[in-house]
Copies of this chain bind each other. A is one copy, B any other.
């Protein structure tokens, strides 16, 4: 809280927070380490004590995003209801995440998460996808979705919700309310389930 001490206390988290805010205000290409530092009330090279470079900061944002998304997907997975209902819930969660945190979402899928440089971020991304695979598997086991390569079915569902999220965020899809987007998501995923029963 006190900005007077030489040491900040939790600069790393403050920088990530500030970076997300800055992206929200100025877009991804408006993200600047110097401005992030300014907002944390710190010298313009201080961020380098916590991030190797600018890309490392965006990777941290991506990792945070994937972790949140993975949690949301797990939550849908653990909810009550039929497998079908839970898959729809998971799809809604995916799109809702993108609408609520478009800055995270954009960074997550704009950044190439090199396995060597950012193994944790990659792991978080894999976990998020694993949550989706689990939902699809449950549908298959319940006979709501045809047997066969689970991975492939999961990819179809993933592409469906990812496309909706991307186009909604990019304003190619114009919806009046977030609820409308989520209802549309459910409609699309319902068709997916019906088409692959």
**Residues of A in contact with B (beta carbons under 8 Å apart):** 27-29, 109-110, 112, 125, 129, 152, 155-156, 158-164, 166-167, 170-173, 184, 187-188, 190-196
**Copies of the protein in its oligomer:** 2
Partner of A172, one of B28, B109, B167: B109
Q: Which residues of B lie under 8 Å from residue A27 when comparing CB positions?
A: 112
For residue A167, give the distance in angstroms from its CB to the closest CB of chain B. 6
When chains A and B are docked, how far (Å) is the Cα of A163 from the Cα of B112?
Answer: 17
Q: Which residues of B lie under 8 Å from residue A171 when comparing CB positions?
A: 112
- The answer to whether A156 touches B191 (Cβ under 8 A) is yes
**Which partner residue on chain B sits nearest A170 by CB separation?**
B109
**Which partner residue on chain B sits nearest A106 by CB separation?**
B110
Q: Which residues of B lie under 8 Å from residue A164 when comparing CB positions?
A: 159, 163
For residue A185, give the distance in angstroms from its CB to the closest CB of chain B. 9
When chains A and B are docked, how far (Å) is the Cα of A173 from the Cα of B29?
Answer: 25
Q: Which residues of B lie under 8 Å from residue A193 when comparing CB positions?
A: 195
